Structure 1
């Protein structure tokens, strides 16, 4: 990025105060110096990062999971996903989450792209991983996860995103992004 643009837009960190330390996220309040010299506070959710897996069958069907999300109070249709554990590589996380949530194993895992989930307040970087060469196994979700798994044609899943039936952002992004990336 050119220095003139950075000088006009970038904020400089003055101080950080940790507000909450949790099992999945931490929350901090940063005091920053704005480009015009004024100061402001930014509330930031710190997240270790995550993967979202797009399991694609040989028939161009996608494996989705349905689960209740307490924050929204809704049962949502999503791609398998999960938090990257400390020291874990994204592809290892994708392999683990795919198997835990759906029972499927993939012969081929490829990181297609990465994106921020909600950069206005959160540093969570999500890696979109394409999973191909799927073999069915037995799902073993975490003790606190209650999940249904279903397989639908990719074009039907994309239609569901466009029609608002799939409301989860990472799933919508993953399904729409893969349209131009899969053979």
Structure 2
């Protein structure tokens, strides 16, 4: 057994939804004892850092029910079955912002909440943005407002906690360190 590895003994599926599934695993611990783990299974997601030729960050504001408030975020969305991360990134960019690009650069991938969820977010930088000829329709239950902000405006939104999620905080650090925004 690998150091600290927990071996699954039994899995109970609790809920299977449109976005997530919940399961409870009985696990064998490295010391031979057993425990339970409540786990959220997620197909994975992408997040896009869209920077205009003028050096503005394209963001969306939307209501987040889990927090009971609106947040300003970089565009993002979940992977669909059979869809790779780059394909998802291009689709989500167009659906949420109305922009397209031929210049999509992989930045990184990270786990959002490894203590209880297996979601991995793949982050892409999108530059050389062009307005799509006809915007793809987004999800029927998704309402977003498009924003194009300077680095200074985004940093103020972060101080005001209008930007309050990890992927967007990461994006702001990334564009600042790379000197991609004005």
**How many residues in Structure 1 have an aligned counterpart in Structure 2?**
178
1:173 matched to which residue of 2? 170
| Cα distance between partner residues in 2 of 1:48 and 1:178 | 27
Q: Is it true that 1:144 corresponds to 2:117 in the alignment?
A: no
Q: Where does residue 105 of structure 2 map in the other structure?
A: 110
1:125 aligns with 2:120: yes
- CA–CA separation in structure 2 for the residues paired with 1:156 and 1:181: 17
Alpha-carbon offset, residue 164 of structure 1: 3.2
Residue ranges of structure 1 left out of the alignment (5+ in a row): none
TM-score by length of 2: 0.90
Provide the TM-score with structure 1 as the length reference.
0.89
Q: After alignment, is 16-25 or 138-147 more displaced? A: 138-147
Partner-residue secondary structure (3-state), 1:58: coil
Which aligned pairs between 1:79-94 and structure 2 lie closer than 5 A? 79-94=74-89
Q: What SS does the corresponding residue of 1:41 show, helix, strand or coil?
A: strand
Instruction: Say whether the 8 Å CA contact 2:100–2:129 is kept in structure 1.
Output: yes
- Determine if contact 1:52/1:170 at 8 Å carries over to the other structure: yes
Query: In the alignment, which residue of structure 2 is the partner of 1:48?
Result: 43
Partner Cα distance (2:26, 2:75) in 1? 36
- 1:20 has 2:11 as partner: no
- Deviation, 1:182, is 5.9
Unaligned runs of 5+ in 2: none
Deviation at 1:163, TM superposition (A): 5.4
CA-based RMSD: 1.8
Q: Is the 8 A contact 1:53 1:80 kept in 2?
A: yes
Deviation at 1:181, TM superposition (A): 4.5
Deviation at residue 162 of structure 1 after TM alignment: 5.1
